[in-house]
Amino acid sequence: MPARFEIPASHPHVAIVTLDRPDAANALDPETLRDLAAHWRRIDRDDSIRVAILTGAGQRVFCAGMDMRKTIPASQALARGESIDADDFEGLRAVDSALLVRQGLRVPLIAAINGHARAGGFDLMLASQIRYAVPEATFALEEVALGLYPTGHATVVLPRQIAAVHAAELLYTAKPIDATRALTMGLVNELVAAGRLLDRALETADQIASNAPLAVQATLRGIRQLEGLGLEEAYTRQEEFGRPLRRTRDAREGQRAFVERRRPRFEGR
């Protein structure tokens, strides 16, 4: 599989998805797009999974974006009304699902950025809530330099995630920035040496997974849905997210554990 899925035995509530085409810069060909879409569906269906991590194979590239030899030509042929291979067509149909456009995951997603994140790889990163990157990573949205519109997340969520002036620079110039600049912009959380990158992501994943899963998921939905609302409506909607949680078994367990000075045992109920 060009995108691997695993749940480590030592981290039973964490799913790791790895883009595994290092010889092709982990570029997104139709098969990889189909794999990614399938993995995200699996994560959303499995209540035992509380956190997901996305990373790339190899030590050079996280993801170079859409495959220029396979995906882009197929997309252009389809746009011209030409027939294309059935597998390629299914891959193109899976683009939005693979990139988590419009509908994010049910659980938090951590990006362990092991190298360069370009174009569609940058989009995949934008779908994550927490990001760790190696110091050698670079970041670029190169679509306008190729005569393309940066579809996916870039023009929709990037100006909401970082300062508008920085988003404009990335979108209009198509020039890469280094990891230090990305950290300064607030595009990533932390720079981590390559040998510790996945361990750092797993540390955070385990911390998230130790919390009440229904509360984490409700908070994730709330942040998404409250964005852009007026203050009064946002406060009203916030209560709609919080009220049902107060009746859950996990809420009662959390309170008992606090009083008894022990670690809570959350069940997601």
136 near 113, Cβ under 8 Å? no
- Two structure tokens written together for 151: 């579809």
All domains in the chain, ordered by first residue: 3-209 (3.90.226.10), 213-260 (1.10.12)
Element (H, E) at 139: strand 138-140
Query: Which pLDDT belongs to residue 230?
Result: 84
**What's the pLDDT tens digit per position in 97-118?**
999 998 889 999 999 999 999 9
Q: Say if CB 21 and CB 27 are below 8 A apart.
A: yes
For the entire predicted model, the pTM comes to: 0.91
Instruction: Give the pLDDT confidence of 74-105 residue by residue, as tens digits.
Output: 666 656 665 666 666 676 778 899 999 988 89
**CA dihedral (144, 31, 135, 11) positive or negative:** positive
Instruction: Quote the pLDDT of residue 190.
Output: 98
**What is the mean pLDDT of the segment spanning 151-160?**
91
Confidence of residue 264 (pLDDT cuts 50, 70, 90): confident
Distance of CA 52 to the CA centre of its chain: 8
- For residue range 176-224, list pLDDT tens digits in order: 999 999 999 999 999 999 999 999 999 999 999 999 999 999 999 988 8
pLDDT at 84 (0 to 100): 65
Tell me the H-state helices in the chain: 30-45, 71-79, 86-93, 95-99, 120-126, 154-161, 164-173, 179-185, 197-209, 213-226, 231-245, 249-260
d(CA 9, CA 209): 14
Residue 238 confidence (pLDDT) above 60: yes
pLDDT at position 268: 75
What is the pLDDT at residue 92? 73
Instruction: Give the mean pLDDT of 244-263.
Output: 77
